[in-house]
Amino acid sequence: MRGKKPAAGFLPLLWVPNAAGPAARLFPPMPLTEDPTAGVFSDTPKIEFIDTPGVPNRNVRVIADFTFTEAANGTVWNAPVGSIIDGASIPRVLWTLVGSPFTGDYVYASIVHDVACDTRARPWRDTHYMFYLACLAGGTRRGRAKLMYLAVRNFGPRWPAPDAPVVPAGQPVGQLAFSLVALAGEKPAAPFSPFVPYAAQLRYLHRAQAYLATHGENVSLEAIDIYACRPI
């Protein structure tokens, strides 16, 4: 059953006890599932911020099992109790445009995506597409979800499948257009992840935003990607 969506720009706060100390932390609850055609969340996630003296609270711990199930095929993505979430699976350039993974309408998606990128139990392409579906299920507008998916798909973590051959540095990885223009000859920042300067990432996302603004949120992911990759 869907809960009542908060007024725009406001999220009510749920008290979650912090096991590390007497102070309680705040977490914004939202409706469990806004778009069940994309997938379904098991519950409102229960987390606590991890206090580290002198360090901003950027890590959180999952304190109750939490899952996302894809509607199309029933694939279940788990964030088991004890998982540590730090938002590292979301490219920092995206934080600039849509905010921290711990706020807003993609909180739920970022939790299961972070865990999936840590465990790497499934292919990175499937993992990043799950993030897109989870964003939709969490109430993210379709156009915004597409922008966020393209960011993690093109600039997020990648890893080889267990039986995959090693891809030499500089060769394209993946099928979307940006992989084809990933800087040839540059040393990858991580295995199976093309090195793309922050400025290039930001330029790509600004162009993707402009294309969405012109053509509407129902435009295909491929069309957005191809346009955003075009030379200026």
Helix 198-215 vs helix 142-155: crossing angle, to nearest 10: 150
Can you give the pLDDT at residue 130?
97
Can you give the pLDDT at residue 172?
44
Which of 22, 31, 28, 69 has the alpha carbon at shortest distance from 46? 28
Can you give the pLDDT at residue 175?
46
Can you give the pLDDT at residue 162?
62
Can you give the pLDDT at residue 183?
38
For the stretch 189-219, pLDDT in tens is: 333 345 688 888 899 999 999 999 999 999 9
73: left (phi over 0), alpha (psi -120 to 50) or beta: alpha
Q: Which helix (H) or strand (E) holds 24?
A: strand 24-27
54: left (phi over 0), alpha (psi -120 to 50) or beta: left
Q: In whole angstroms, give the CA distance from residue 78 to residue 76.
A: 6
Q: In whole angstroms, give the CA distance from residue 46 to residue 35.
A: 21
- Coil, strand or helix at 161: coil
Can you give the pLDDT at residue 159?
87
Q: Which portions of the chain are predicted below pLDDT 50?
A: 1-27, 170-175, 177-193
Q: What is the pTM of this model?
A: 0.76
Buried b (16+ CB within 10 A) or exposed e, 76-89: ebbbeeebebebeb
Integer angstrom CA distances of residue 192 from 79, 164, 168, 182, 199: 24, 11, 9, 12, 20
Can you give the pLDDT at residue 25?
46
Can you give the pLDDT at residue 198?
86
